[in-house]
Amino acid sequence: MGISKRLDFDMETKSIGKICKALGHPTRIQIMTLLWRRNNRTCGEIVELIPLAQSTISKHLLELKKANLVNVKNEGKKTIYSIGLDNIQILKKYITSYLSTIEIPEHNKKTILTTRHQVKGRNSHLKKYNYQFPHKNIKENLGD
75: number of Cβ within 10 Å: 9
Low-confidence ranges of the chain (pLDDT < 70): 1-4, 104, 106-144
pLDDT at 7: 76
How far is residue 124's CA from residue 117's CA, in Å, rounded to a whole number? 10
| Domain extent listing, the chain | 11-91
Was domain 11-91 assigned CATH 1.10.760.10?
A: no
What are 96-107's pLDDT values in tens digits? 888 888 776 766
What are 36-63's pLDDT values in tens digits? 999 999 999 999 999 999 999 999 999 9
* Of residues 81, 82, 87, 98, the one with CA closest to residue 21: 87
How far is residue 129's CA from residue 117's CA, in Å, rounded to a whole number? 9
- 79 bridge partner residues: 74
pLDDT at 53: 95
pLDDT at 135: 53
3-state secondary structure of 36: helix
Does the pTM surpass 0.75? The reply is no
3-state secondary structure of 9: coil
